[in-house]
C-alpha cells in the first residue's frame, strides 16, 4: 500500500509562503509527476512528503495514517536525490543495504536482498566498488537500488535524471518506468522536464508559485488545460497565445493554439506573416513567424517544409484545437 | 626563454622555501645540538656547531634528577583528555551549526573565536581564584578543563568547516533510510569527516601539549605537565642551557614525532577551505 494524501498543506520559510494550500490524493501504485517552473515549490512539496521539511499547517497522510509530525525515518518512504546522495565511504553493497541495516535486519537477509536489488539493476559486478569508482549512470542505479531494496510504501524522486546526459536520461527514464510498473509501488517524481513527466507519469500535477494549478493525466492536461499557465507549460514548443480582435472573434479574451495545430500554407486563410527563423529537424519543421497583430507565432509541421527565413506564409488554426481563455486566464469551456 | 625564466623562478622559490624552513627550524636544531654539549661548551663563544664533544650526560642528569615520566604522563592525560572532551563537545556543536544554521550561527562562531583574541593574562586572576575556591589548582581535572576550553573554539571552527563541506543531501538520505540523529552521526557524518576529525584532534593535542601559560600558573607538582618540567630548569641558581635543552628535547619529542608522522593531515586541516 502507498496512498499519499495532502490536506491543505502550507509551508512558509519565515514570511515567504512557498506552498499555499496543497490538496492532493496520490493513489496507491500510481506514478505522479510534479512539474512547474523553478521556484514553484515542487521540490519543497516532495520534501514535505518525505518529512525532510516540517509543514507549517495542514496534514499529510500515508495510507490514511497522519504522518505530519513523523520523522522521515519512520514514514516508510524511499527517496532518490538529484545529487544521488550516495554514502561515499561505503561500497555499493553498503549503500544499497544501509536502510536494511538501519532496520536491524539480519546480515544474511540484507545480503540476499542487496544482491537481488543489484541483479535487477545490473549492478552485481560493482557491488564492492565505492561510488567514486562508478559512472554517472551506475551511481544513479545505486541510488535507485537503495530506494527499491526496502520495499517502501512509495518512491520519491527529486529530479533524479537531471545530472545525466541526454541519451542516458532517455534510457534511465525507461528503466525507472519499467521498474515502477514491475514493483507496483507508488512513485512521486519531481521534474522540470515536461517530456519526462508526460512520458513517465499516470498523473501530472502542475505547480505554479506554490499552488497546484491542475492535476490530471498527461493527455488531459494537453487537451484541456484549465488555464493559460498550464496551457503554456504543457507542450513543447509552448502554445501560441493570441489576444485582442483575433481572440474576440472566438468569444474569448485570449485564444491558444499549439504549434502542431497551426496549418502552414504559402497562400491561404489564416494569419499572414513572415518567417523569422526555421528549424529543420528532419522529422519536423519548426517555423517562427512574425504574424503582425497576432504576434510571433510558432508553427510545427510534420516532415520537411522547403521554407526559410523571409518567406511569406499564412497560419490557419485548426478550429477543433483552439483553446479559449477569459480575461483572468481561465479556460472557457463550450 | 619562457621555459628558462620559469625554471629560474622555480629554483628561486625552492631555495626561498628551504631557507625559510631552515630559519624556522633553526632554534629547534640549536636546542637539539646544545642538548648534546657540556654546560661549558653550551655557553662558549664562538659557539661550536657540529665539532664538539658529543655527550649524553645532560639526558642522564635530567632523567635522574626529575621524574620525566611523571610529567610526560601528566601531559598525555591533560592534552589527551582535553582533546577528547573538546571533540565530544565540538562535534555536536559544529554539526548543529553546519546543518541547522540559524540567523545567529555566524555571530556565535565569531563570538567563540573572539575568546581567543583576549590575552589569557587578562583573566588569570579571576580564573586562579575560581580554581582555588573549587580546589582545582594543581589538579589534572583543572588542567583538562582549562585546556579544553582554550581549544574548543578552534575545534568547533575546524569541525564546522569540515562539516560544511559534506553535502546535506547525504545526511537527509540517511534520515530517509531510517537513521536517527545518533546513527546519522555515527554511520554517515563521522566516517565522512574522518580526515577533519583527525586533523582537529592532532592540532588540539599539539596546542594542549605545548600550552604553557595556564599549565605553569595553575599547576606546580602533582598535575604538572612537561611545560613545568622544562621551566624547572630555569632556576634562581642560573640557567643550565645544556640541561634545559635536553629537558626541552625530551618534552617536545613525543609531539614532534606525532606531528611529523601526521603532517599531511595537519597541513590539510590547517589549509582547509583556503582553496577549493
Where in the sequence of chain A do the CATH 2.40.50.140 domains occur? Answer: 237-325
pLDDT band at B177 (very low <50, low <70, confident <90, very high): very high
Which DSSP string do the residues of A165-176 spell out, in sequence order? -HHHHHHHHHHH
Do residue A85 and residue B172 have CB atoms under 8 angstroms apart? Answer: yes
Name the phi and psi angles at B237, rounded to 5.
-75, -5
Structural contact between residues A195 and A236, judged by C-beta atoms closer than 8 angstroms: yes
- Mind telling me how many Å the CA of B170 is from chain A's nearest CA? 5
Please tell me the predicted confidence (pLDDT) of residue A59.
96
List residues bridging with B135 in a β-sheet.
none
The enclosing H or E element of B230 equals helix B226-231
Mutation target among B99, B176, B191 for the A interface, most CBs of A within 10 A:
B176
Handedness of CA A246, A247, A248, A251 (dihedral sign): positive
Predicted confidence (pLDDT) per residue in A96-120, tens digit:
999 999 999 999 999 999 999 998 8
Q: Is residue B19 part of a domain?
A: no
Give the residue among B244, B242, B248 at the shortest CA–CA distance from B209: B248
Residue B240 · residue B233 · CB < 8 Å: yes
**Cα(B194)–Cα(B88) distance, integer angstroms:** 14
Of B68, B87, B82, which Cα lies nearest the Cα of B252? B68
A281 Cβ contact list (under 8 Å, min separation 6)? none
Q: Tell me: the pLDDT tens digits for A141-168? A: 999 999 999 889 999 999 998 888 888 8
Inside any domain, residue B13: no
3-state secondary structure of B110: helix
**B54-72 per-position pLDDT tens digit:** 888 888 888 887 788 888 8
Q: Per the structure block, which three cell numbers stand in for B101?
A: 544554521
Q: Which among B169, B179, B191 has CB closest to A81?
A: B169
* A50, A82, A89 member nearest B176 (Cβ): A50
What percent of chain B stands above pLDDT 90? Answer: 42
Residue B12 has pLDDT above 90, yes or no: yes
Interchain pair A82, B169: CB under 8 A: yes
Reading the block at residue A265, the C-alpha cell is: 500554407
**The total number of residues written for chain A in this structure:** 334
- Read off the pTM: 0.79
**pLDDT for A32:** 97
ipTM of the complex: 0.85
> How far is residue B176's CA from residue A75's CA, in Å, rounded to a whole number?
8
Q: To 10 degrees, what angle do helices B105-114 and B140-164 make?
A: 140
Domain span at residue B139 reads 67-270
pLDDT at A171 over 50: yes
Distance CA B223, CA B77 (A): 9
Coil, strand or helix at B238: strand
* B182–chain A Cβ distance below 8 A for any pair: no
Beta bridge partners of A323: A256
Q: Of 2.40.50.140, 3.40.50.2300, 3.40.190.10, 3.40.50.2000, which CATH number belongs to A237-325?
A: 2.40.50.140
Which residue did the predictor score with more confidence, B221 or A4?
A: A4
**Strands lying side by side in the sheet with A57-62:** A16-26, A4-13, A57-62, A65-66
Chain B closest-CA separation from residue A289 CA (Å): 45
Nearest to B192 among A74, A88, A146 (CB): A88
B172 close to A (CB below 8 A):
yes
**Top-tier CATH class for A4-225:** alpha beta
Please give the C-alpha separations between residue B121 and each of A157, B111, B146, B155, B213, in angstroms, as whole numbers: 58, 19, 13, 22, 8
The answer to whether residues A6 and A19 touch, using CB atoms and an 8 Å cutoff, is no
More confident residue, B2 or A43: A43
Residue limits of CATH 3.40.50.300 in chain A: 4-225
Confidence of residue B127 (pLDDT cuts 50, 70, 90): very high
Q: How confident is the model at residue B236 (pLDDT cuts 50, 70, 90)?
A: low
pLDDT band per the 50, 70, 90 thresholds, residue B276 = very low
**Mean pLDDT computed over A254-272:** 91
Closest CA to B219 of B126, B142, B129: B142
| Residues B179, A73: Cα–Cα separation, whole Å | 6
Are A286 and A313 in contact by the 8 Å Cβ rule? The answer is: no
Model confidence at B275: pLDDT above 60 = no
Asked if residues A204 and A215 have their Cβ atoms less than 8 Å apart, the reply is yes
Report the b/e string of B5-41 with b at 16+ CB within 10 A. eeeeeeeeeeeeeeeeeeeeeeeeeebbbbbbbebeb
Q: Please list every residue in chain A whose beta carbon sits closer than 8 Å to the beta carbon of residue B187.
A: 98, 102
B183 CB neighbours in chain A (<8 A) are 102
Do residue A83 and residue B167 have CB atoms under 8 angstroms apart?
A: yes
Distance CA A154, CA A180 (A): 10
Which of these, A102, A163, A88, lies nearest to A130 by C-alpha position?
A88
pLDDT over 80 (residue B235): no
Of the candidates A158, A118, A155, the residue with the CA atom closest to the CA atom of residue A138: A118
Rounded CA gap, A236 and A227, in Å? 17
Does residue B60 belong to any structural domain of this protein? no
C-alpha cell at A184: 507496483
Angle (CA) A293 A296 A297, round 5°: 110
The whole-angstrom separation of Cα A100 and Cα A107 is: 9
Minimum CA–CA partner of A146 in chain B: B177
Residue B1 lies in a domain: no
Comparison of pLDDT for B250 and B3, the residue scoring more? B250
Contact, A194 vs A233, CB < 8 A? yes
**Rounded Cα distance, A259 and B168, in Å:** 42
**Residue A296: enclosing H or E segment and its boundaries?**
strand A296-302
Please state the rounded mean pLDDT for residues A293-313.
91
* Alpha carbon A206 to chain centroid, angstroms: 8
Cell of A89: 565511504
- Looking at residue B270, its pLDDT comes to 57
pLDDT tens per residue across span A23-57: 999 999 999 999 999 999 999 999 999 999 999 99
Number of domains within chain B: 1
Is the CB of residue B165 less than 8 Å away from at least one CB of chain A? no
Q: Report if residue B218 sits inside a domain.
A: yes
Binding-site residues on chain A for chain B (CB distance < 8 A): 50-52, 71-75, 77-79, 81-83, 85-89, 98-99, 102-103, 146, 150, 156
- Rounded to the nearest angstrom, the minimum Cα separation between B192 and chain A is 6
Mean pLDDT score of chain A, rounded to an integer? 92
CATH number at residue B94: 1.10.3720.10
Contact state of B178 with A73 under an 8 Å Cβ cutoff:
yes
Q: Considering only the C-alpha atoms of chain B, give the largest distance between any 2 of them, rounded to a whole number of Å.
A: 73
**Across A62-71, B37-46, B83-92, B179-188, least confident range:** B37-46
Q: How confident is the model at residue A92 (pLDDT cuts 50, 70, 90)?
A: very high
CA-based radius of gyration for chain B = 23
Amino acid at each position: 500500500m502507498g496512498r499519499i494524501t495532502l490536506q491543505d498543506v502550507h509551508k512558509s520559510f519565515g514570511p515567504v509562503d512557498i506552498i499555499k494550500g496543497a490538496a492532493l490524493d496520490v493513489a496507491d501504485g500510481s506514478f505522479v509527476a510534479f512539474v512547474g517552473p523553478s521556484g514553484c515549490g515542487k521540490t519543497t512539496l516532495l520534501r514535505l512528503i518525505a518529512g525532510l521539511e516540517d509543514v507549517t499547517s495542514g496534514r499529510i497522510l500515508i495510507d490514511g495514517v497522519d504522518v505530519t509530525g513523523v520523522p522521515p525515518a519512520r514514514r516508510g518512504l524511499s527517496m532518490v536525490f538529484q545529487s544521488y546522495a550516495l554514502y561515499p565511504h561505503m561500497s555499493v553493497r553498503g549503500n544499497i543495504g544501509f536502510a536494511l541495516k538501519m532496520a536491524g535486519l539480519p546480515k544474511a537477509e540484507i545480503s540476499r536482498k542487496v544482491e537481488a536489488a543489484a541483479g535487477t539493476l545490473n549492478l552485481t559486478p560493482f557491488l564492492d566498488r565505492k561510488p567514486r569508482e562508478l559512472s554517472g549512470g551506475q551511481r544513479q542505479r545505486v541510488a535507485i537500488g537503495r530506494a527499491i531494496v526496502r520495499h517502501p510504501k512509495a518512491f520519491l524522486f527529486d529530479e533524479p535524471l537531471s545530472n545525466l546526459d541526454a541519451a542516458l536520461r532517455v534510457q534511465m527514464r525507461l528503466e525507472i518506468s519499467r521498474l515502477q510498473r514491475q514493483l507496483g509501488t507508488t512513485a512521486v517524481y519531481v521534474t522540470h522536464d515536461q517530456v519526462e513527466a508526460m512520458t513517465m507519469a499516470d498523473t501530472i500535477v502542475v505547480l505554479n508559485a506554490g499552488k497546484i494549478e491542475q492535476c490530471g493525466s498527461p493527455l488531459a492536461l494537453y487537451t484541456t488545460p484549465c488555464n493559460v499557465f498550464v496551457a503554456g507549460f504543457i507542450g513543447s514548443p509552448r502554445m501560441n497565445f493570441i489576444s485582442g480582435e483575433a481572440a474576440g472573434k472566438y468569444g474569448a479574451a485570449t485564444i491558444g493554439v499549439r504549434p502542431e495545430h497551426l496549418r502552414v500554407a504559402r497562400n491561404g486563410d489564416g494569419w499572414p506573416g513572415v518567417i523569422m527563423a526555421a528549424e529543420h529537424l528532419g522529422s519536423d519543421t519548426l517555423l517562427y513567424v512574425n504574424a503582425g497583430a497576432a504576434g510571433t507565432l510558432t508553427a510545427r509541421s510534420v516532415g520537411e517544409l522547403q521554407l526559410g527565413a523571409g518567406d511569406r506564409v499564412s497560419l490557419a488554426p485548426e478550429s477543433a484545437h483552439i483553446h479559449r481563455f477569459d480575461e483572468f486566464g481561465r479556460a472557457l469551456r463550450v | 626563454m619562457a621555459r628558462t625564466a620559469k625554471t629560474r623562478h622555480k629554483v628561486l622559490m625552492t631555495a626561498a622555501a628551504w631557507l625559510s624552513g631552515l630559519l624556522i627550524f633553526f632554534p629547534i636544531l640549536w636546542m637539539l645540538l646544545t642538548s648534546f654539549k657540556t654546560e661549558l661548551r653550551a655557553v662558549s663563544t664562538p659557539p661550536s656547531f657540529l665539532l664538539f664533544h658529543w655527550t649524553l650526560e645532560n639526558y642522564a642528569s635530567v632523567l635522574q634528577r626529575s621524574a620525566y615520566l611523571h610529567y610526560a604522563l601528566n601531559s598525555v592525560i591533560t592534552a589527551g583528555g582535553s582533546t577528547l572532551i573538546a571533540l565530544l563537545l565540538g562535534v555536536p556543536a559544529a554539526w548543529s551549526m553546519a546543518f541547522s544554521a540559524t540567523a545567529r550561527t555566524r555571530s556565535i562562531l565569531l563570538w567563540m573565536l573572539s575568546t581567543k583574541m583576549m590575552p589569557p593574562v587578562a583573566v588569570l586572576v579571576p580564573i586562579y581564584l575560581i580554581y582555588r575556591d573549587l580546589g582545582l589548582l594543581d589538579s589534572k581535572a583543572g588542567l583538562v578543563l582549562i585546556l579544553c576550553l582554550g581549544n574548543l573554539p578552534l575545534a568547533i571552527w575546524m569541525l564546522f568547516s569540515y562539516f560544511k563541506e559534506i553535502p546535506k543531501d547525504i545526511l537527509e538520505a540517511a534520515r530517509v533510510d531510517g537513521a536517527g540523529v545518533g546513527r546519522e552521526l555515527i554511520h554517515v557524518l563521522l566516517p565522512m569527516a574522518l580526515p577533519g576529525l583527525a586533523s582537529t584532534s592532532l592540532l588540539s593535542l599539539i596546542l594542549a601539549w605545548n600550552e604553557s601559560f595556564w599549565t605553569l600558573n595553575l599547576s606546580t607538582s602533582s598535575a604538572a605537565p612537561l611545560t613545568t618540567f622544562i621551566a624547572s630548569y630555569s632556576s634562581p641558581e642560573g640557567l643550565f642551557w645544556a640541561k634545559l635543552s635536553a629537558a626541552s628535547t625530551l618534552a617536545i619529542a613525543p609531539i614532534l614525532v606525532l606531528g611529523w608522522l601526521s603532517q599531511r593531515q595537519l597541513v590539510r586541516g590547517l589549509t582547509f577551505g583556503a582553496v577549493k
